[in-house]
Amino acid sequence: MSELWYYIDPNGTTAGPVGFADLVNVLRTNGTGLNTLVWIDGMGAWEKAADNPTVVERLRSRRSAVPPPPPRSPGAAPAARTDSSRAEASYEQTADTHPWRRFFARCLDATFAAYLIGIVGAVVFFSAAAAFSFSASPLLLAILLFPLLLLFAVLFLLVEAFCLSRFGTTPGKALYGISVRSLEGRRLTFKRALWRAFAVLVRGQGLWLPFVSLVTAIVAYITLKRDGQTTWDRDGDIVVRHRPFSVLRIVVLIVIWLSVVVVFVAGYT
């Protein structure tokens, strides 16, 4: 006989009974995720799904047993299986999504890239200015601003995609204990990693456009806290994992960020 679960829906009423597979889909779509109160025969009181050992262990074991994606076909069955696998992999991590850790990891990646590309670009630019006898006037720098930003974005996306496909993380993510994998636990292909990097730039950072980037960042934050997964990771069948913070990691990050601030201030003095 299959297990029958009950849960509290967003309106505060009791719903069920449902099987465990249906409960997973409820957690995926009801907007409260693993904060949903659940109950099954034998429990003394309602518990959050994230605090229920049975739910957590079942999700973890079902996640490890997820087979590779089936061949694409016009039928509806494979799609349903993919959605179920996606939900289970997502909600293994919903209880701790760490949006701010992910945000600062990306800021650190962008900072590293800006310093590296900025140094190389400055050397090339001023070397060319000296060789061809033209001055680096403010007007010329203003004209070159957009193509330089475009070049930076392209290079940043390519480097991020390379790091994710080759190492499963980036320098900033590695320092923050973050790794990115497919549902099957493998590193992303370069094409898939490049798609994710571009999706983050568009959906999460609004192409770095003023105000637009603020709106997209807020929407991405709300979605991650509510669903336990960003839209780009959900659509790409991608899982983001977080390692526990150690004291050494915290100390290293403090030193790095202080160094970034010192270099930034020194550049304007």
Q: Assess whether pLDDT exceeds 50 at residue 92.
A: no
Q: Span 202-214, mean pLDDT? A: 91
Q: Assess whether pLDDT exceeds 90 at residue 232.
A: yes
Q: Assess whether pLDDT exceeds 50 at residue 89.
A: no
Q: What is the pLDDT of residue 58?
A: 77
Q: What is the pLDDT of residue 104?
A: 94
99-135 tens-digit pLDDT: 999 999 999 999 988 888 777 766 766 676 666 666 6
What distances in angstroms separate CA 114 from CA 122, 133, 204, 235, one per listed residue? 11, 27, 19, 29
Question: Rounded mean pLDDT of the chain?
Answer: 80
- Domain chopping of the chain, boundaries: 5-91, 99-267
Q: Assess whether pLDDT exceeds 50 at residue 86.
A: no
Report the alpha-carbon distance of residue 224 to residue 99 in Å, rounded.
Answer: 7
Q: What is the pLDDT of residue 251?
A: 95
Q: Assess whether pLDDT exceeds 80 at residue 75.
A: no
Q: Assess whether pLDDT exceeds 90 at residue 93.
A: no
- Of residues 56 and 14, the one with the higher pLDDT is 14
Q: Give percent of the chain with pLDDT exceeding 90.
A: 31
Q: How far is CA 175 from the centre of its chain?
A: 15
**Alpha helices, H only, the chain:** 20-29, 53-64, 77-91, 99-132, 138-167, 171-175, 190-199, 212-227, 231-235, 247-267
Model confidence, pTM: 0.61
Contact 94, 153 (CB under 8 A): no
